[in-house]
Structure 1
Amino acid sequence: MPRRVLVTGGTSGIGRAIAARFTAEESEADVIVTGRHADTVERTAKELGVRGLVCDATRPDQVAALADGLGGPLDVLVNAAGGLPEDAPTDTPPLEALLHTWRSALEQNLLGAVLTTASVQEHLAPGGAVISIGSIGAERRGGAYGTAKAALAAWNAGLSADLGPRGITANVIAAGYVAGTGFFRGAMTDERHDNLVRETHTKRAGTPEDIAATVYFLASPGAGQLTGQTVHVNGGAFTTR
């Protein structure tokens, strides 16, 4: 049976690569991408040959309506929406600016995944998978962003226990440095790039396709006993033991 796959934040970067991987591997799959802006959602859907739904994962009203647009049971949910926190206006008092940054980080990188998963949870089919995109920043001095990604992994452990009896897995992919995305908002310098590559054992930056390949495996029958885990995809820049 063709699978139905939902990828939040699927209009660019890692999310887009994940949607493209599923369409390439499973021509009959019903792949759905979400994004906050109608124009980018429409363009991505047309380019990849997928369905597009406008949804801001941090907006409960929009997330509540998301399940209605699925069209049936859901086999794979990929929580790929996220990113660096938004800056407060320059004239914001210091403590209010700090609160703005932390709220933005938590909303984008934790609460969006929590809300989306809750909205579609009853639609998840047995044998399905929930995969959320985390970050190596959770293991380092990642500030508000890294803290939110660490909380994502903690939340995932409980989600795995809740979904496991239904035959559904839940895992986090902690991505290392991935080049070729808009994540750094133009702030990546050649020096920083070289330093991040030097940290890896593979001596190369990651690609969106690296993450997409891992997502595809975690959504496969071969990963049916792999759940409640944080899978580090970073070229060895951070190792576990």
Structure 2
Amino acid sequence: MITGGGTGIGRAVASRLVAAGDQVVLLGRRPEKLADAVAELGPASRAMPVDATDPAALQAALGELPERVDVLINAAGGNTDLVDGAPAADDLKAVRDSWSANFEANVLSAVLVTHALLPRLADDARIVNLGSVTARSGQGSYGAVKAALEPWTSELAFQLGSRGITANVISPGRPPSGADPESGRCHRRGSRHCRQSIVDPANQLAVNIICRDSQVAMNFEIVTGRD
């Protein structure tokens, strides 16, 4: 199960999992993007258009989702300020709306989907949440909400560990300004733009790579045990 599976990192993860022989269900808000992804991935994939921040919509979708989930990838989200524009510092309502939008897109979506699927997670299942290096380097509300994923994920690992279920955060860096995520290499290997960290609640592991969606997806595959 992959939220945000129609585009970007979510789609790249889906591609690797399908290539490894898995069946994938792609969740997302944009039916046309999901349809494009399924057309590319083939019969091992199917789409489920749903707003992961809407509890009622998720509840209604449960009847069409698998009864057993071995891997849950929460890749939905992104910096909503890049779409809506950063708020003016003296406009308190706009600041509140900006923070709320980033929290809903990046944290609440993961929390609601995970809680909805907890009863369906198989023993030894894998949960992987998409973080960001901005959790430690700024970028306002986006960095702050990405930071919130880490303690929540750690608590998930603690709660579900007795069943052999693991929960991790993978925190990619961002490509240089204007670079295509599939073709743009970072200017300096190991710079803050290139750094990618795998955060394991039990054992910390850091990895420096170039910032391509496919490279990030490779690390999701490793953490889920599908490499």
Question: Structure 2 length as normaliser, TM-score?
Answer: 0.81
Going from structure 1 to structure 2, the CA distance change for 1:105 and 1:90 (only over 3 Å counts) comes to closer
Going from structure 1 to structure 2, the CA distance change for 1:176 and 1:70 (only over 3 Å counts) comes to same
Aligned match for 1:160, one of 157, 160, 164? 157
Q: Look up the SS of the partner of 1:212 in the other structure.
A: helix
- 2:188 is aligned to 198
The aligned runs of 1:55-204 (5 Å cut-off) are: 55-86=50-81, 87=84, 94-178=91-175, 188-189=177-178, 197-198=187-188, 200=190
Aligned pairs, how many?
204
Indicate conservation of the 8 Å contact 2:77/2:106, yes or no.
yes
- 2:2 is aligned to 7
For each residue in 1:174-204, what CA deviation from the matched residue of structure 2 results, as whole angstroms up to 9, or x when unmatched?
111247xxxxxxxx347xxx99633626797
In the TM superposition, residue 89 of structure 1 has moved relative to its aligned partner by 10
For each residue in 1:60-110, what CA deviation from the matched residue of structure 2 results, as whole angstroms up to 9, or x when unmatched?
11222333222321000000001012426989x811100010001100111
- 1:44 is aligned to 37
Indicate conservation of the 8 Å contact 2:51/2:58, yes or no.
yes
The gaps in structure 2 that reach 5 residues or longer are 195-207
Query: Matched residues, percent identical?
Result: 34
- The reply on whether 1:211 has 2:204 as its aligned counterpart is no
Going from structure 1 to structure 2, the CA distance change for 1:215 and 1:189 (only over 3 Å counts) comes to closer
CA RMSD of aligned residues (A): 2.7
Deviates more, 1:120-129 or 1:32-41: 32-41
Going from structure 1 to structure 2, the CA distance change for 1:162 and 1:66 (only over 3 Å counts) comes to farther
Q: In structure 1, what is the Cα distance between the partners aligned to 2:185 and 2:118?
A: 41
Indicate conservation of the 8 Å contact 1:32/1:53, yes or no.
yes
- Counterpart of 2:188, as a letter, is R
The gaps in structure 1 that reach 5 residues or longer are 1-5, 180-187, 223-241
- Counterpart of 1:74, as a letter, is V
Q: Look up the SS of the partner of 1:65 in the other structure.
A: helix
Q: In structure 1, what is the Cα distance between the partners aligned to 2:69 and 2:226?
A: 15
Going from structure 1 to structure 2, the CA distance change for 1:195 and 1:7 (only over 3 Å counts) comes to closer
Going from structure 1 to structure 2, the CA distance change for 1:99 and 1:78 (only over 3 Å counts) comes to same
Deviates more, 1:66-75 or 1:207-216: 66-75
Question: Structure 1 length as normaliser, TM-score?
Answer: 0.77
Indicate conservation of the 8 Å contact 1:175/1:211, yes or no.
yes
- 2:205 is aligned to none
- Counterpart of 1:41, as a letter, is L
Q: Look up the SS of the partner of 2:2 in the other structure.
A: strand
Q: In structure 2, what is the Cα distance between the partners aligned to 1:139 and 1:89?
A: 20
